[in-house]
Structure 1
Amino acid sequence: MSSGSRLKKSGRLGKLRGFLPGRRAVGRKRRDLRPRIGIRVWLTALFLLVTSFAGGLTYDIVRPMLYNNLNQASEQSFEQVGEQYENLIRGNSGDVSVEEVEDFATGRGLQWGLVRASDGEQLKGDLEAWSASAVNTAVNTREPDINRETLTSGPRDGQMLSTYAAPINASSQGAAGQRTAIVFVKLFPESDIGNVDAAMNKIERILFLAGGMALLIAGVSGYVVADLISRRVSRLGLAADRLAAGNFDEHIESPIQDEVGALGDTFNSMAVSLKGAFRQVEQEKERGQAILDGMTDAVIGVDSELNAIFLNPKAREILGLSDLTFHNRLHETLARTWTEGPITEPEIETNSEARSEGYQDSPNQILEIRAAPLEDGALAIIRDVTQERRIQRAKAEFIANASHELKTPLFALSGYLEMLEDEEDEEVRSAFLNDMRAQTERLNSLARTLLDLSRLDAGAIAFQREEVYLEDLLHELKRDFGYTGREIRIDAERTPPVETDPNQLHRMLAILVDNALKYSPGDEPVELGLHPGDGHAVVTVRDRGCGIPEEDLPYIFDRFYRAQGSSRADGTGLGLALANEITDHLGGELGVESRPDEGSTFSVSLPLPGKDAEDAGRPGVYHESRQGS
């Protein structure tokens, strides 16, 4: 039954809820209240704004210039009066008569007059109005002056008055010694001014129409340009979204090599780099996950609320088989790390609930917890030290047993030596010597077994390969144990020779035969068997002794382990361990089947030459792994 099915059957999934990864509360996404305005709107508005600003600035600059040009065009004829009058004076050697002045003004549609600057009196002429400031300026500077002003009162209200004043010597006109000026005046009626304003209004309408057309063209152009940029930027945004979603094959093809095109090339390079980086991250993640999944230790990570964020398979298995007390202990240990730092719980025994699920041979687990705090949680590594603690206890028992085994023959030898000093009877002395030889042999056997195990562990024993006929080897074993006087039966079928080390194979089978003789009644024979099967040659050693309890079968080949009832015979629990080690090095497999009070049968399966080694197991037979103890 799998671990998952056992969990469901026992109904303890609820108990694990605190350690199984669950959903995390995800905060509600904050609503973005910022206005969403597309780049088309922004750029179109920018084009219109710039065009409007440029048009308004141009209008403010050009309008006064146009207005002045129109006024100057309408008054250009009057401005030429001064030049013509000066030419007239130069033609008359600097002196003109009143008649000439009058003819000059009449011919040009001008009013004229001779005005005295001191009191503004008109001495001659037909002036209706004139500019006194132009007269004073001309007299004072002795240079002609032109002045324009709009009349604000009288019948000429709203008309433009243009005055030209030039200083003259009026002695010939009877005004000797007085400062006078010849004045020409022209009145522009409102119709002329209206013509200027009408022209300006027409020009303004044309300007406004041109401005509207410019705004329309600018708006359309801005929208087209903005749409082009927006499409390319949107393509970048869409590609970035796909890249964020994990599509690292996304690329951007830009037909225009401008800044956006360069950005697209940079994006493509970034996508390639991210693809490589994420591939490396995924590989590292898979490698880390494989390491965690393959660990023989349980690894548990929790957050700040002691909720599991990851569990490897070993952790799920251990948590599934452990009781509630262990779960609470683990919670407490993880919580303590935040105040005490790293913590080690070297030995916690759990009541294995696997016994209630058909696993009666499962001992209570002994677990070691090593916990350490993390930045936002804690990490625990749980190690199943049941086997280690059992081996440690077995070693301790072995040391006690070995000490006892060593002390017993040593004490016997010491006693025999003391008695030999005082004993004069040769028969008694001979019996003492025989007992001393037996105790010495016992010490030698123990020392040899320990030495062989240590040499096997160190790889210091060289195994030879040669053809061995197993039937001959069985008969040799029978002869070797003939000194015991016990009956040994052989039932052998003809099998091909095997390629193995004859000395080590003999040593291993001798251990099994010796073990069978120890645990069999004196009147019961030990049976040796040989038969081929599934490409293997199988040697069996059967006794009719006390047998091995079922709960001891999985550990019978472990070092230092002695099954229940083993006290009925001498031994240290190393013989079968040594036999199993030798079998592994020979490329074979050692198995046992046994029932209490009915005896045991040990089977050694060796591969036949030229054929693949196959599983030689039979139903109901326990087989030790070839990996050794």
Structure 2
Amino acid sequence: MSSARKLLARKSAARLPWPSRPEGLRPRVGIRIWLTALFVLVTALAAVTAYELVRPILQDTLNRASEASFRQVGEQFEAQLARNDGQVSVDQVKSFAASRGLQWGVVRAEDGTKLEGELGGNLDDWSARAVQRAVAEQRPQQAIERVAEGNPREGQLRATYASPIRIEGESGYAIVFVKFFTQSDIENVQAALAKIDRVAMIAAALALMVAGAVGYFVATLISRRISRLGLAAERLAAGNFDERIRSRVEDEVGSLGETFNSMAASLKSAFEQVEQEKERGQAILDGMTDAVVGVDRELNPVFLNPRARELLESAPPEFHNRLQEVLAKTRYSGPITEPEAEAGERIIEIRAAPLEDGALAILRDVTEERQIQRAKAEFIANASHELKTPISALSGYLEMLEDEQDEEVRAEFLREMRTQTERLQNLARTLLDLSRLDANAVIFRLEEVDLEDLLHELRRDFSYTGRPLRIHAEEGVPPVETDPTQLHRTLAILVDNAIKYSPEGTPVDLTLRREDGGVVIDVRDRGCGISEAEIPHIFERFYRAQGSSRADGTGLGLALANEIVGHLGGEIRVQSEPGAGSTFSVVLPLKKSEGAAGGRTRRQARVS
């Protein structure tokens, strides 16, 4: 197929979706897995967060529980002092410490030394800071500290209780009770924490399993409802606008279903409107007398209306090439009008405009319009020439009259001037009549006319010429409903031409006859005749056949006669042979009489 026929052959181009990605590389994970994993992840995060928050509290609680017995020492010692009015003996202190497994002794706060002798007790290590604070604040103080490295009791916890006392009326002393927590006590706490950790792990595992099962169940419910939404959306995308979703649960998914139903109803209505507009637009395109061509970026046709198909199928390759050039140019240069593109014997006007994804062209057959324009131009030129000739003659005669003294010559000039004036009047009248006929501004007064009487009247009108007019009328020709004035004028033009273009003394025959439901009036002469090639042009304005130069005329008479007969609903036929004469036949249709038999009625009608 040549490039000139590209507009009639649509190429199929495979277009890959953008962005192109192999289907196998696209991950596809169902919503059930996503939601189940989300449930498990949230549960795991919650469990870990809760354990991290609770474990320090548990550890502190266990430590406090293991140290609770020592914290009660101070309370019990204070209670014993209160019972003894603040007095306590060494034996009572020894008994108190022994019953509770405590070390005891009296310590001087100033230098942090233990008193010797009986008051020194069995104390071998204590918290100097607790002693100093107790003496300084004059109230009991407690301190639980880990034994420093290098101490024989390294790794144990040391609990110190210091209460200020007076010895022999002097202050600055404190009685100290100390208890050491061994490694076994600490290990007990650690063992308890480890047990709690195991229980927590088991509980977490069970929670994750329960969360996974619940998540999967919930995800299944949600997935099924969303799957129904997806299936309905696919059917909607496939063109099933009657698809609807019914939900028994009024939640977010149910609201989404209602929204989907509303959207489907709106899409159905919109699609119906689009289809109606599409059909209306297609009907407009199909009904257009102009050809419409739409192309894509590669100049391949997207749509053609019937007129475009008809035009492009019959157009030569040169026109296809020109159309492609215009469409290609309009995409870069904007709207373009090609006033005259030749398509064989036709002249096509191309109007092209760019589109977002191609171009659009409207092709209009302006052959007749251009012919009319040329005819108008020729008409104006010919009318100007016909007007110029008599006007020039009149101007010349006037100049000669000014200088001429001979009365006979002046009379001859006046006769010629009168002839030219009449010629101008006839030309102006004919041009006016033609323009009025073109504008449908002539009123035809129709009435029943006896055509034989009209022919006799015509013979009387031309009796001054001395040329014999012979009338041949068939019997029984009925009256014709027509405008007698306009018909008389038409026949007068034909008779006048027959007299002009036939030799002196030869008769002109007028024949009246019936033919196929109509009436025919023949005007026959024996003149020079008309060649077959010229017959199609003799009714054109200002056209004059060969051999007519010897007779005066403007070439408008036959045009006017043809226009009048056309408006009367008839036609003019011509038969001619060069050197043997011509026959002009006026054919008029017969109509039923609207009045009584033999009567005549008159009515007015404007020709449209």
Report the TM-score when normalising by structure 1: 0.68
Give the equivalent residue in structure 2 for 1:166.
Answer: 163
AA of the residue aligned to 2:407: E
Give the equivalent residue in structure 2 for 1:502.
Answer: 484
Q: State the shift of 1:17 in Å.
A: 1.9
* Gap runs ≥5 in structure 1: 1-12, 353-363, 612-626
AA of the residue aligned to 2:443: A
Query: Distance in 1 between the 2:475 and 2:209 partners?
Result: 113
AA of the residue aligned to 1:16: A
Give the equivalent residue in structure 2 for 1:399.
Answer: 383
Give the equivalent residue in structure 2 for 1:60.
Answer: 52
Give the equivalent residue in structure 1 for 2:602.
Answer: none
Q: State the shift of 1:413 in Å.
A: 9.0
Give the equivalent residue in structure 2 for 1:31.
Answer: 20
Give the equivalent residue in structure 2 for 1:204.
Answer: 197
Q: State the shift of 1:558 in Å.
A: 3.9
Cα shift readout 1:293-347 (whole Å, capped 9, x = no counterpart): 323xx66677777767676666666666665556666666777779998877766
Relative distance call for 1:144 and 1:463 in structure 2 (3 A) is same
SS for the counterpart of 2:88 is coil
AA of the residue aligned to 1:574: L
Q: State the shift of 1:213 in Å.
A: 4.2
Query: Distance in 1 between the 2:485 and 2:133 partners?
Result: 151
| Partners of 1:134 and 1:163 within 8 A in 2 | no
Relative distance call for 1:309 and 1:97 in structure 2 (3 A) is same
Query: Distance in 1 between the 2:75 and 2:52 partners?
Result: 34
1:185-196 map, 5 Å: 185=179, 187=181, 190=184, 192-196=185-189
1:459-498 map, 5 Å: 459-470=440-451, 472-473=453-454, 476-477=457-458, 480=461, 484-491=467-474, 493-495=476-478, 497-498=479-480
Query: Distance in 2 between the 1:337 and 1:548 partners?
Result: 51
| Partners of 1:542 and 1:602 within 8 A in 2 | yes
Query: Distance in 1 between the 2:187 and 2:177 partners?
Result: 26
AA of the residue aligned to 1:94: G
| Partners of 1:139 and 1:179 within 8 A in 2 | no
Q: State the shift of 1:164 in Å.
A: 3.6
Cα shift readout 1:355-394 (whole Å, capped 9, x = no counterpart): xxxxxxxxx5456667788887696866435413541464
Query: Distance in 1 between the 2:67 and 2:407 partners?
Result: 167
Give the equivalent residue in structure 2 for 1:3.
Answer: none
Give the equivalent residue in structure 1 for 2:139.
Answer: 143
Give the equivalent residue in structure 1 for 2:598.
Answer: none
Equivalent residues, number: 571
| Partners of 1:112 and 1:185 within 8 A in 2 | yes
Give the equivalent residue in structure 1 for 2:604.
Answer: none
Q: State the shift of 1:395 in Å.
A: 1.6
| Partners of 2:571 and 2:587 within 8 A in 1 | yes
Give the equivalent residue in structure 1 for 2:589.
Answer: 606
* Gap runs ≥5 in structure 2: 595-606
SS for the counterpart of 2:163 is strand
| Partners of 1:159 and 1:188 within 8 A in 2 | yes
AA of the residue aligned to 1:196: V
AA of the residue aligned to 1:143: R
| Partners of 1:48 and 1:215 within 8 A in 2 | yes
Q: State the shift of 1:407 in Å.
A: 6.9
Residue 177 of structure 2 corresponds to residue 183 of structure 1: yes
Deviation larger for 93-102 or 232-241:
232-241
Give the equivalent residue in structure 1 for 2:101.
Answer: 110
Cα shift readout 1:61-109 (whole Å, capped 9, x = no counterpart): 11111122233234333322221121111101112223333433454x4
Query: Distance in 2 between the 1:489 and 1:84 partners?
Result: 166
Query: Distance in 2 between the 1:238 and 1:510 partners?
Result: 87
Query: Distance in 1 between the 2:332 and 2:398 partners?
Result: 61
Relative distance call for 1:178 and 1:315 in structure 2 (3 A) is closer
Query: Distance in 1 between the 2:327 and 2:196 partners?
Result: 89
SS for the counterpart of 2:194 is helix
Relative distance call for 1:319 and 1:267 in structure 2 (3 A) is closer
Cα shift readout 1:163-186 (whole Å, capped 9, x = no counterpart): 4443444559xxx88835242536
Query: Distance in 2 between the 1:153 and 1:421 partners?
Result: 171
AA of the residue aligned to 1:529: R
Give the equivalent residue in structure 1 for 2:554.
Answer: 572
AA of the residue aligned to 1:461: V
Cα shift readout 1:591-618 (whole Å, capped 9, x = no counterpart): 536475585563534362499xxxxxxx
SS for the counterpart of 2:474 is strand
| Partners of 1:250 and 1:271 within 8 A in 2 | no
Relative distance call for 1:324 and 1:420 in structure 2 (3 A) is farther
Residue 382 of structure 2 corresponds to residue 387 of structure 1: no
SS for the counterpart of 1:75 is helix
Residue 87 of structure 2 corresponds to residue 71 of structure 1: no
| Partners of 1:139 and 1:167 within 8 A in 2 | yes
| Partners of 2:126 and 2:178 within 8 A in 1 | no
Query: Distance in 2 between the 1:228 and 1:566 partners?
Result: 103
Q: State the shift of 1:576 in Å.
A: 3.3
Relative distance call for 1:406 and 1:271 in structure 2 (3 A) is same
Relative distance call for 1:54 and 1:451 in structure 2 (3 A) is same
| Partners of 1:550 and 1:595 within 8 A in 2 | yes
| Partners of 2:130 and 2:142 within 8 A in 1 | no
Residue 534 of structure 2 corresponds to residue 539 of structure 1: no
1:431-446 map, 5 Å: 444-446=425-427
Cα shift readout 1:454-476 (whole Å, capped 9, x = no counterpart): 23234443222333455654555
| Partners of 1:113 and 1:123 within 8 A in 2 | no
Relative distance call for 1:380 and 1:455 in structure 2 (3 A) is closer
Query: Distance in 1 between the 2:331 and 2:183 partners?
Result: 102
Residue 81 of structure 2 corresponds to residue 89 of structure 1: yes
Query: Distance in 2 between the 1:67 and 1:610 partners?
Result: 129
SS for the counterpart of 2:513 is strand
Give the equivalent residue in structure 2 for 1:7.
Answer: none
Residue 94 of structure 2 corresponds to residue 98 of structure 1: no
AA of the residue aligned to 2:542: F
Query: Distance in 2 between the 1:416 and 1:541 partners?
Result: 46
